[in-house]
Structure 1
Amino acid sequence: MSSSKFEQIAAIIERDIESGKYPSNSKLPTHRLLAEELGTTPVTVAKAYKLLMDKGQLESFVGRGTFVCAASDLDHAIQAPPEDNNFNFSILQPCLELNVPALKSAYRQSADLITAPVIGYTEHSGHEVHRAAGAKWAAMYGLEGATSENILLTNGAQHALSLVIESLTKPGDTILVEQLTYPGITAIANMSGRKLVAVELDKDGLCPKALAQAIDDYQATMVITIPSHQNPTGISMPEYRKKEIAQVINEKQVWLVEDDIYAFLDDITTPPIANFAPDYTFHISALSKAISPAMRCGYLKAPHSQLHALNAHIRTNIWLVSPINFIAATQLIESGEAFRLASLQRETANHRQQLVRDIFPSVDCAASGYHVWLPLPAHWHPDRFALEAKSNNIIVTSGSYFCVGDAQPTHVRLSLMSIGNQARLKEGLYKIKALMDSDTSGFFPY
């Protein structure tokens, strides 16, 4: 080992944590035991533990020992390391550099619209003009029947998901999700004591027959789906499939949460499921993926029967969303600038998808929207690939973080938009290809 021996040992421990050898809340070996295992000294191990404690990965208790800090899959699936030398393919966000000028302008204009009534309390989740803008945003991408009366404002799509789950289900209830799904959904379920059950996916998305059977078998109270550019598989439901899902929902009379935040990436607008099952569907849209995640502007269209309950839940927990961001969001939507930015992001995503096809010509991957669901060669396990990539300053997301139930993906997910510079993106993709093609036998064991 090199002179920075404790740093290398810390890296080994970090890999063991990420691989599951030391799961969250587990106790690590004593300094002496680990030193004997690794052929070093207890002092060196103590320095390694201290380094990982400073990074927030370990915690130590006098008389009890050293433990792995608790973490959710969401922490691993989405990483934002500060180092400039990383190629970060883990974050699904717009190419932010493209949007900065328009955002600066919108916030400058918003300052003139800040008045005492606007920044005061309001009876609903937010002001009517902001809810009307949310209806306009969602309507542009196919949603019918959205008005200022049935749109609620939320602190982004994640808040909307949490709001609906906590308002309309109770601990122990079963929620059906796609067998590969966004880790933010599993994080909410795990934290709130809801049970997730996986439903089969095919090339067109959620399978209607499997969904109907699962509703009956598990007495499910809610279904959650991502119909457009599904995270992580990239599948977009055709209209006929959305109608089939709506038919099941209408017949079984269960709640459907349609997380439709990627609808703006469709080259041809496809009506959302909510259009065909409006009495049971909660439709979520947001500006996080098209404009900026920092805006925290989510729009939730809810069935009329549930508006009072959801508004009461918002008031109890946060009273109302901050109007400051929604002033800027409304400026962007009413001026048409929001739709221009969304189109620019869609064009950029399409161009980068073509880049993937050029670099991986022989790989049959589901490339859609902002991300790629990249299959790995047989000699790579996705967790091991993600760890080796990280050691080369490449951050990818292992397919295992998206699994619900018994799904065993052999993929990693790559975000194509979080690296702003196209030349650097291309360099990172070639590094990933080289790692995929490499022989794993030469890597340091852990």
Structure 2
Amino acid sequence: MSSSKFSKIAQIIEERIENGEYLLNSKLPTHRVLADELNTTPVTIAKAYKLLSNKGKIESFVGRGSFVCGESNLNSAIKASEMEETFNFSILQPCLYKNVVPLQKAYQVASEKLTASLIGYTEHTGHENHREAGVAWAKYFGLTGGSVDNTLLTNGAQHALSLLIHALTKPGDTIAVEEKTYPGTLAIASLSGRKVVKVSMDEHGVSPEALELVIDEWKPKLVVIVPSHQNPTGITMPEVRRRKVAEVIKRKDIWLVEDDIYCFLDERPIPAISNFIPEKAFHISALSKALSPAMRCGYIKAPESHVELLNAHIRANIWLSPPINYIAATYLIESGEAFKIAEQQRKTAFERQTIARKILPTIQCRSTGYHIWLPLPLHWTSERFVAEAKNRHVIISSGSYFDATGHESRHVRLSLMSISSEAQLEEGLRILQNLLESKITTFPF
């Protein structure tokens, strides 16, 4: 096979990327499909993809396929913007303007509480009273069994996820995730050489039967589950489903990583899955979604058998999380202010969900959380809809970013909280509704 043949095919693919036929971050055809189209062999396509990968035009993931390079799915799903005229529906965060004053006070208190012992190294990976605050935060929203001895401090939930995946698995191992899942988990797995396998979901979340089949077939080392206001579907697992999932995990003897950072949005506390299998579960809670993304305070409740292992990983990577954040967080939790802020954010989310359902009647999941999982009409793909919304200064997240296998999606995710005012929220939602009703799929810039 001549080198010119796969080079020419690589040029054809690159031209398709440049003219928009293959959109940024979109999944490329499989080797077999493109080989049939271009009258060549899958091996030739593989060499063309390799050439484009070396040039930084595409990136490939084991088990997921090849994608046009733009930004990583994580970067694309969460896009910060300083432009006031932009309607940013991509960031899952609280309405921050409501939290500025209490956080200002908390950090002022923290600065006054600084002592030599707090700004130096500590024997453990976090001060005891800061871990006590983490126990209180998680217990308030449904976690049982937490203590200062089994609770660890991390630099937020993302760090906690990365820490657990690296500590509990090794390169080449398989991780089970929800079929629609947080792209941050996929990014960790991809960068660390872990394989990902999806678990089917229904209207109540992860299917216990599907989880059992995946465990039997793929032998994953752990499963990552978001039980409340799941990102991106918005599904909250009822207690009955949580118990059934726990039974499967216990019977099959794998680890559970329960990413429970949206638990504060539940109307009333729901028992964590970890409550039913404390010896097999690692429970993550954090303050970024209730208080501020800048307050990088995450808490892991771990089985006692793994506390020292996780402490060793924390010391090897960061030694300890910055105490200044935890001083402020502990003040907010101990004073009760953190719970008041969380409740206000929950009420704001409910109000914004009500607004969204009036403007976008096609919303299916009855979530009361920060975001909605919006189905698209058949004539739209998520990538094209995202592109056309951007032409109208509306930033949204393509559903394909959240697909565990990288497949195209007929959904987009909309965060309702990052836009500061309800009037601006309504304006942005009406732009999207008009776009949904449009019968053509290309528009002038």
Task: Please give the TM-score of this superposition, normalised by the length of structure 2.
Answer: 0.85
**Within 5 Å, which residues of 2 pair with 1:201-212?**
201-212=201-212
**Within 5 Å, which residues of 2 pair with 1:12-23?**
13=18, 18-19=23-24
1:400 corresponds to: 400
Indicate if the aligned counterparts of 1:16 and 1:22 stay in contact, CA closer than 8 A.
no
1:29 corresponds to: none
2:223 corresponds to: 223
Is 2:149 the partner of 1:176?
A: no
1:33 corresponds to: none
1:409 counterpart letter in structure 2: S
Q: Secondary structure at the match of 1:378?
A: coil
CA distance in 1, matches of 2:131, 2:364: 42
Distance 1:352 1:173, change over 3 A: same
1:118 corresponds to: 118
2:335 corresponds to: 335
1:361 counterpart letter in structure 2: P
1:297 counterpart letter in structure 2: C
Q: Report the alpha carbon displacement of residue 22 of structure 1 after superposing the two structures with TM.
A: 10
CA distance in 2, matches of 1:133, 1:14: 54
1:163 corresponds to: 163
Q: Report the alpha carbon displacement of residue 18 of structure 1 after superposing the two structures with TM.
A: 4.0
**Within 5 Å, which residues of 2 pair with 1:72-91?**
72-91=72-91
Q: Secondary structure at the match of 2:284?
A: strand
CA distance in 2, matches of 1:22, 1:163: 29
Q: Secondary structure at the match of 1:291?
A: coil
Q: Secondary structure at the match of 2:113?
A: coil
Indicate if the aligned counterparts of 1:15 and 1:387 stay in contact, CA closer than 8 A.
no
1:246 counterpart letter in structure 2: A
Q: Secondary structure at the match of 1:198?
A: strand
**Within 5 Å, which residues of 2 pair with 1:114-153?**
114-153=114-153
Distance 1:365 1:146, change over 3 A: closer
Q: Report the alpha carbon displacement of residue 69 of structure 1 after superposing the two structures with TM.
A: 6.5
2:7 corresponds to: none
CA distance in 1, matches of 2:27, 2:359: 36
CA distance in 1, matches of 2:114, 2:227: 37
Tell me the number of residue pairs that the alignment of Structure 1 and Structure 2 aligns. Answer: 392
2:10 corresponds to: none
CA distance in 2, matches of 1:138, 1:15: 46
Q: Report the alpha carbon displacement of residue 112 of structure 1 after superposing the two structures with TM.
A: 1.2
Distance 1:381 1:86, change over 3 A: same
Of residues 169-178 and 431-440 in structure 1, the stretch that sits farther from structure 2 once superposed is 431-440
Q: Report the alpha carbon displacement of residue 20 of structure 1 after superposing the two structures with TM.
A: 5.0
1:265 corresponds to: 265
2:86 counterpart letter in structure 1: N
Q: Report the alpha carbon displacement of residue 15 of structure 1 after superposing the two structures with TM.
A: 5.5
Q: Report the alpha carbon displacement of residue 253 of structure 1 after superposing the two structures with TM.
A: 1.1
Distance 1:298 1:227, change over 3 A: same
Indicate if the aligned counterparts of 2:235 and 2:365 stay in contact, CA closer than 8 A.
no
- In structure 2, the gaps of 5 or more residues are 1-16, 29-55, 58-67
CA distance in 2, matches of 1:231, 1:305: 30
CA distance in 2, matches of 1:14, 1:418: 32
Q: Percent identity?
A: 55
2:349 corresponds to: 349
Indicate if the aligned counterparts of 1:371 and 1:413 stay in contact, CA closer than 8 A.
yes
CA distance in 1, matches of 2:291, 2:269: 19
CA distance in 1, matches of 2:274, 2:438: 46
2:245 corresponds to: 245
CA distance in 2, matches of 1:238, 1:199: 18
1:235 corresponds to: 235
Cα deviation, 1:261-310, whole Å, max 9, x if unaligned, reads 00000002110000001001000000000000001000010000000000
CA distance in 1, matches of 2:19, 2:120: 47
CA distance in 2, matches of 1:436, 1:406: 23
Q: Secondary structure at the match of 2:373?
A: strand
Of residues 436-445 and 180-189 in structure 1, the stretch that sits farther from structure 2 once superposed is 436-445
Q: Secondary structure at the match of 1:112?
A: helix
Q: Secondary structure at the match of 2:307?
A: helix
CA distance in 1, matches of 2:142, 2:397: 31
Q: Secondary structure at the match of 1:405?
A: coil
Task: Please give the TM-score of this superposition, normalised by the length of structure 1.
Answer: 0.85
Indicate if the aligned counterparts of 1:235 and 1:368 stay in contact, CA closer than 8 A.
no
Indicate if the aligned counterparts of 1:179 and 1:407 stay in contact, CA closer than 8 A.
no
CA distance in 2, matches of 1:286, 1:332: 13
